[in-house]
Amino acid sequence: MNDRKTDDIVLHGALCVQRGILMFTGYVPASIIAGQVRVDTHDPVSGTGYQRSVARFRIAKVAEYYLRGGTMPNPLMLNIRDCDLPPVRIVPAGGQRAAYEEACRNRGNWSGPATLELSSEVPLWVYDGQHRRAALTQLLTAMPDEFASFPVPVAITLGLSWKAEAREFYELNTNAVSVQTDLAWTLLAALAAEDTELRGALAEKGKDWLIRGDQAVAELEKLDGPWQGRFRPVNRRKRKGDGRIVGRSQFVRSLRPVLEFPLLRGADPSEMALLVNSHWCGIAEVLPEAFNGDPDEYVIQKGVGINAIHALLPQVIEVIRSRDGKLGDVQEHAEVMEWLRNLSGYAVIDSLQVRVAGVEFWKVGSAASSFSGNGGLRRLVSLLRSALPTPEQQGIIR
């Protein structure tokens, strides 16, 4: 006798018993995800719940991705809690119920095809994928005909308690390792090089500088200068003493003020690389000690240094142009940056505040190292900018 109600949901997929824990995988229409999935958001007042609040900007980004034809190969992680499981009907296929029940009794392992029958009132608690669920809900509201039947992959644990569910959330979010930024940007640059639509989409979002920057750094690595052999290869950890002092993505980010400088928006990667290399070669002539020895002893080629130097480079470019100089001329850059020899600040040495200048300013643990964080960087840039000549001081403004 079939006592299933007309509003019951029947899911077809694969069932497994893993050390006694039941898990079901399959596909669910987006309409069910929007209507039946619940999020147990943490309430700081009552102390209940465990999920973070959704970030609206992330929902918008995910929705846009699906709207542009994106797919969802990775499943939402859901749970039917122990208190809601009794009415759910689990039906192993192919006469395998006996083997399935034995695995459940003995906390063993088993897998096979099955169906899952549950009421539309049974909540499906999401512990991984709440932004994707929210994005689909948003799209369903706006475009129900297009997204109602969108098949969403799901992995449903059956019968976990609230605490066990929260623990799964914790494990997923503390043990998962994101793709390294260097690798992600390298892949994005490679894709954009052959995909005009992707390049256009990045340009619309104001992010095409990422691609141009990655391409410029690839060219910079080929040039004889202070950055040859200094970038850590993609997907490789830092190794002590190998001279690879900065990650490519960090260097690309530092170049953003240069890449977005109106004069250089049309520059190709090789031109950009030549400009950046000439600038650093000029600095190396002014402060040779920082570049001739162990680069790890100075911060000028590390985060604080590259961000500050590149923040000033657009102004350096204007000064050189005001002198009718060539932007690829190392000597032009050396002359404009000559003031670095006298740049001074304070460092704490042997518990005493000591004034340092020139190359000593950039030593690890010295004056430049004290400008940490975004606020410190802004102060350092302000200090450097006050010492840098302006186009007006050159007498000619182009």
pLDDT of residue 352: 83
190: left (phi over 0), alpha (psi -120 to 50) or beta: alpha
Q: Average pLDDT in the 240-261 region?
A: 89
- Give the gyration radius of the chain's Cα atoms: 29
Q: Residue count of the chain, please give it.
A: 398
- Please say if the pLDDT value at position 108 is more than 50: yes
- Please say if the pLDDT value at position 53 is more than 90: no
- Asked whether the beta carbons of 12 and 156 are under 8 A apart, the reply is no
pLDDT of residue 90: 95
Kindly report the average pLDDT of the chain as a whole number: 89
Share of residues in the chain with pLDDT > 90 (%): 67
Taking alpha carbons only, the member of 132, 272, 133, 159 closest to residue 213 is 272
Question: Band of the pLDDT at 52, cuts 50, 70, 90?
Answer: confident
Reported as type and span, the H/E element at residue 62 is: helix 56-67
Q: Average pLDDT in the 148-166 region?
A: 94
- 207 or 76, which is more confident? 76
How far from chain centre, in Å, is Cα 311? 22
Q: Average pLDDT in the 201-230 region?
A: 89
Share of residues in the chain with pLDDT > 70 (%): 92
How far from chain centre, in Å, is Cα 173? 15
- Please say if the pLDDT value at position 397 is more than 80: no
Question: Band of the pLDDT at 396, cuts 50, 70, 90?
Answer: very low
pLDDT of residue 171: 82
pLDDT of residue 178: 60
Strands 124-128, 37-38: pairing is: parallel
pLDDT of residue 321: 94
Q: How far is CA 131 from CA 53, 280, 303, in A?
A: 10, 43, 32
pLDDT of residue 293: 85
Positive or negative: CA dihedral 229, 191, 139, 50: negative
Minimum mean pLDDT range among 92-101, 234-243, 358-367: 234-243
- Please say if the pLDDT value at position 242 is more than 90: no
Our separate counts of H helices and E strands in the chain read: 17, 12
- 187 or 209, which is more confident? 209
Is 9-175 in CATH node 3.90.1530.10? yes
- Please say if the pLDDT value at position 174 is more than 80: no
Q: Cα 358–361–366 angle (5° rounding)? A: 155
The torsion defined by the Cα of 87, 76, 172 and 210, in degrees rounded to 10, comes to: -170
Would you kindly state where each structural domain of the chain is located, as residue ranges?
Answer: 9-175, 181-339+376-394
Q: Average pLDDT in the 171-196 region?
A: 71
pLDDT of residue 392: 64
- 2 or 284, which is more confident? 284
pLDDT tens digits for 299-358?
999 999 999 999 999 999 999 999 999 999 999 999 999 999 999 999 887 778 899 999
- 232 or 321, which is more confident? 321
Q: Average pLDDT in the 174-182 region?
A: 64
Q: Cα 37–158–26 angle (5° rounding)? A: 65
Question: Band of the pLDDT at 198, cuts 50, 70, 90?
Answer: confident
Question: Band of the pLDDT at 183, cuts 50, 70, 90?
Answer: low
The residues with which 348 forms a beta bridge, in sequence order, are 353
Q: Average pLDDT in the 159-188 region?
A: 77
Minimum mean pLDDT range among 205-209, 296-300, 373-377: 205-209
- Please say if the pLDDT value at position 239 is more than 90: no
Answer whether 0.75 is exceeded by the pTM: no
Q: How far is CA 338 from CA 48, 87, 335, 396, in A?
A: 61, 79, 5, 20
- 265 or 24, which is more confident? 24
- Please say if the pLDDT value at position 273 is more than 90: yes
pLDDT of residue 394: 58
